[in-house]
Amino acid sequence: MAEITAAMVKELRDRTNIGMMDCKNALTEANGNMDEAIKLLRERGAIKSAKREGRAATEGLVGVGTTADGKAGVAVYVTSETDFAARNEGFEATVAETLKAALDTTPENIDALKATKTASGKSVDEIVEDLRHKIGEKIELGAYGVQKGDLVVDYKHFNGKIAVLVAASAPGLADDKKDKVAETLKGVAMHIAANNPRFLDSTGVDEKTLAEEKEIAATQAKNEGKPEAIIPKIVEGKVRAFFKQACLLDQPFAMDQDKTVAQVVKDLGKTVGSDVALAGFTRLEVGSANN
């Protein structure tokens, strides 16, 4: 039987935030094997975990960044039940470690990110699981976004609750013009943070959403007693209004309401001598169901 030292007990307590006696008992049962002791503690905490599953995790933190070459960016959102937990140093460190792993590998989706190894040698899924057991809340990797292009910029709102990525294509863009493009894209990212568009442009609106909007518009017109013959025109106008509200490129630019975002980007292209176009965006917000 391995000797269970005070240092071993302290290490297990630091890693799990579980009581000293419980840690000592687990180490004794695991014959001093730290990983096996953690496994035992998790198994014994399974009832707590099951209770957490039904609780809402609507707080948390976002992280966002771009790769060194500026051609890719990632955004992550780790959820918690309370803002107090999200302000824990260990929570912040887990978000930072997750973000670094994402930046190093730019995985294509959230499942791939969960399996990605972090600097500690553990997967993202494992370090989030560690945090969940240490803090005792329902903590999850709630959302992930990745954008790639000729130039990608990131923006995190001052409250730390909203993260945005904007990707642009800019073929043949001169190096000395990149700062100008990045400056405008940063403005677009701030616009996205404030206005929360759902789609890049009208071509990205899925058929189900479009059909629902048309049905709502037609029903409203009928309920208002509009003549049947003009209802298609009313529906057409309502759809245009929906595009202006929901599609980024159709929205009036937050910093110049006389222009749409599409016009701002087109003007930028003329200024820098490149056909600049927005390739995509990601917006993650703490507590939002739209992530």
> What's this model's pTM, rounded to 2 decimal places?
0.78
Gyration radius of the chain's alpha carbons: 25
pLDDT value, residue 233: 95
pLDDT value, residue 134: 85
pLDDT value, residue 64: 98
Q: Which CATH class is domain 6-44?
A: mainly alpha
pLDDT value, residue 46: 34
One-letter amino acid for residue 14 of the chain: D
Q: Which residues of the chain have pLDDT under 70?
A: 17, 43-57, 289
pLDDT, tens digit (0-9, with 9 covering 90-100), for 139-149? 999 999 999 99
User: How far is the C-alpha of 40 from the C-alpha of 52, rounded, in Å?
Assistant: 19
User: How far is the C-alpha of 230 from the C-alpha of 248, rounded, in Å?
Assistant: 29
pLDDT value, residue 14: 72
pLDDT value, residue 289: 66
Locate 163 and state its tokens: 């993260």
Nearest to 246 by CA among 192, 199, 180, 176: 199
Count of CB atoms within 10 A of residue 89's CB? 7
pLDDT value, residue 158: 77
pLDDT value, residue 11: 83
Beta bridge partners, 117, equal: 123
Locate 35 and state its tokens: 């990983």
Domain boundaries, the chain: 6-44, 206-246
Cβ atoms of 15 and 130 closer than 8 Å: yes
| Cα–Cα distances in angstroms (integers) from residue 143 to residues 60, 147, 287, in the given order | 11, 14, 11
Taking the CA atoms of residue 13, residue 15, residue 17 and residue 19 in that order, the dihedral angle to the nearest 10 degrees is -20
How buried is 40 (Cβ within 10 angstroms: 0-12 exposed, 13-18 middle, 19+ buried)?
A: middle
Nearest to 16 by CA among 5, 57, 24: 24
Pairing status of strand 256-260 against strand 277-285: unpaired
Nearest to 49 by CA among 123, 111, 128, 110: 128
